C-alpha cells in the first residue's frame, strides 16, 4: 500500500494551513484525502469515507514533493483568478 508522505515539518504546517484557509470544497477534500493517507488510511477506506472511486483517490494524492508544490501553486493561482 502506498500512502501520501509528509517529508518534513514545513510540509505538515503547509498542509494544516491549507486545510484551515481553503475555501474551495474540492481542494479541501483533496487535502483531507492527503491528510488521512498520511495517517495510514487505505485507499479503499478513503473511497468509502469520501464517496468517490479508488481511482479518484489515487489522482488526489501527489506523488512527489514537486507534485505537491505544483498542485498547491495551481490552486492558489486559481483562487486569485476568481
Residue 22, in any domain of the structure: yes
Does any domain span residue 3? no
Q: Is residue 46 part of a domain?
A: yes
Strand boundaries in 16-66, DSSP class E: none
> Does residue 74 lie in a domain region?
yes
Q: Measure the CA dihedral 22/55/64/6, to 10°.
A: 60
Q: Which domain holds residue 44?
A: 9-81
Asked if the structure places residue 35 within a domain, the reply is yes
Residue 2 lies in a domain: no
10-53: per-residue pLDDT in tens?
888 888 999 999 898 888 988 898 889 888 899 899 999 999 99
Q: How many separate domains does the chain show?
A: 1
Q: What is the pLDDT of residue 9?
A: 87
CB-based burial of residue 31 (10 Å sphere; 0-12 exposed, 13-18 middle, 19+ buried)?
buried
Does this model's pTM top 0.95? My answer is: no
Residue 58, domain member (yes or no): yes
Amino acid at each position: 500500500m502506498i500512502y501520501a508522505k509528509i517529508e518534513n515539518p514545513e510540509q505538515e504546517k503547509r498542509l494544516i494551513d491549507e486545510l484551515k484557509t481553503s475555501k474551495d470544497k474540492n481542494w479541501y477534500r483533496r487535502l483531507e484525502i492527503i491528510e488521512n493517507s498520511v495517517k495510514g488510511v487505505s485507499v479503499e477506506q478513503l473511497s468509502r469515507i469520501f464517496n468517490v472511486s479508488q481511482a479518484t483517490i489515487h489522482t488526489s494524492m501527489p506523488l512527489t514533493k514537486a507534485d505537491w508544490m505544483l498542485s498547491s501553486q495551481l490552486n492558489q493561482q486559481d483562487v486569485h483568478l476568481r
